[in-house]
Structure 1
């Protein structure tokens, strides 16, 4: 058994170890990463503070043609609408050029937001523990070490109740679109992953560790909530292999999601309000 398997993603002090590295990027995805790096430099130039990879690509378990490329970009100032549009355009170009990936997702923030006190146990933790440096200064140097405690659980996923109305609207928008089936698939993938991760962080302090593997997350959750275990296992499968199923989406916003939001608030409390 590997050291990571026995430590559950924690170091000798019980803090969450940073996952991923550029050395783990599979060979097939290295041209994609290089093009993303060059594209970000071209789009933002000196305004770019730092950029990171996260997700399956830097963890080394990305699947050709099925995994997406996940990026986080920090600018020296707060991003504008034009910056977000440029980021979206770059992502679409990368997705079109490289069949190895199934979409590009980019988070765009200002440096000050990522290092703010409000975001220390949410975006700050995300940068320090789940993101792999790609360009610029590593902001993790300015952030603390993190333990899998209730504070981290609350601040990462304690806002599900606020998200559910937006999810219902997104589902309605997709159902009213001309190509509804095509639009449902990415929604199923996104919502499945979000619910599994929320279920995992609900039990994370008791499980005492960190993992980004959806199947392992679902099993950890199921050990504490056996009555919901099969739902979470099914969501973990759909997080990797989504299908455009309206019934799945409805079950998320009408059953699993509301129950999980209520239980999360009971156990960990509500996430501190954000300006957006």
Structure 2
């Protein structure tokens, strides 16, 4: 679910609705168990997403967690997903290391923005506590989605997969591409959003892209199922995704670091 509080502070820094007190009581047992596991295994744990903003839907939303220097996060996520299947769709635990926030590159900058504004600290050393409020600007947009060109290259390599896998790929293409478009809208309009629906605003800036953006939105939201041919057209030269990459490179800028640079998002 979208964060209705996401936007700009009066000083131009990023505002979100991620707050510990907004967590619905239904999800507290999940967080308590995840926190105990993190304390036993070491490392830090953060909550983000709709549960952190209070917009989660019981039984339909994921519980999104970020672990830092925390072993066996995937195993814990599987265990909690099975145990609390009546309360959430899944417990997803992203993994990171302390170094992922300390490097001086676009990915690490995006990680710092993310942990500072989108994450709620649950346990362990809090790397967000000493971070400043970050400007809602092109650098933040680049930190979040400047890897869109690298993703495009990987997506093209996966086109030979089975039709079922390509359908999943199509949804992934749509979601990441629309996040990048949200960054374009943010920089162009002088606002801030990471939500997919506002990305359709880019169709107002470039009307020739409106139909393709609407198709990506339909794939992302499950309104339609992308076929292998649909996905191939979307990522081919002249397709909607390369066009988004070109616009992003021009208006925001792409990552300069290697394709395997880590990102928490």
Q: TM-score range by the shorter chain?
A: 0.7 to 0.9
Q: Give CA deviations for 1:32-84 in whole Å, capped at 9, x if unaligned.
A: 22232233334x23xx1x21111112122222333222211112xxx7xxx4x
Describe the SS at the equivalent of 2:132.
Answer: coil
Contact 1:115 1:142 in 2 (8 A): no
CA distance 1:134–1:163, shift in 2 (3 Å): same
Contact 1:186 1:242 in 2 (8 A): no
Describe the SS at the equivalent of 2:65.
Answer: strand
Where structure 1 has 5 or more consecutive residues not aligned to the other structure, the ranges are none
Which residue in 2 is equivalent to 1:92? 78
CA distance 1:271–1:263, shift in 2 (3 Å): same
Q: Give CA deviations for 1:208-263 in whole Å, capped at 9, x if unaligned.
A: 22234322x32433332332234334434543447653345445433222221122
Contact 1:115 1:143 in 2 (8 A): no
Q: Does 1:272 align with 2:228?
A: no
Matching residue within 182, 188, 208 for 1:206: 188
Describe the SS at the equivalent of 1:262.
Answer: helix
Which residue in 1 is equivalent to 2:100? 113
Matching residue within 2, 8, 11 for 1:10: 8
Displacement, 1:127? 0.8
Q: Residues 150-229 of structure 1: matches in 2 within 5 Å?
A: 150-170=138-158, 172-173=160-161, 175=162, 181=164, 187-215=169-197, 217-229=198-210
Q: Does 1:72 align with 2:54?
A: no
Q: Cα RMSD over matched residues? A: 2.7
Quick one: distance in 1 between partners of 2:219 and 2:243? 19
Quick one: distance in 2 between partners of 1:123 and 1:169? 27
Quick one: distance in 2 between partners of 1:68 and 1:223? 32
Displacement, 1:112? 2.9
CA distance 1:187–1:34, shift in 2 (3 Å): farther
Contact 2:202 2:210 in 1 (8 A): yes
Which residue in 1 is equivalent to 2:220? 239
Query: TM-score, structure 1 length as denominator?
Result: 0.78
The alignment of Structure 1 onto Structure 2 pairs a total of residues equal to 252
Contact 2:111 2:143 in 1 (8 A): no
Contact 1:9 1:17 in 2 (8 A): yes
Quick one: distance in 1 between partners of 2:233 and 2:27? 34
Quick one: distance in 1 between partners of 2:223 and 2:122? 29
Describe the SS at the equivalent of 2:128.
Answer: helix
Quick one: distance in 2 between partners of 1:251 and 1:68? 31
Higher normalized helix content (fraction of residues): 1
Where structure 2 has 5 or more consecutive residues not aligned to the other structure, the ranges are none
Contact 1:155 1:272 in 2 (8 A): no
CA distance 1:104–1:145, shift in 2 (3 Å): same
Quick one: distance in 2 between partners of 1:208 and 1:87? 37
CA distance 1:123–1:26, shift in 2 (3 Å): same
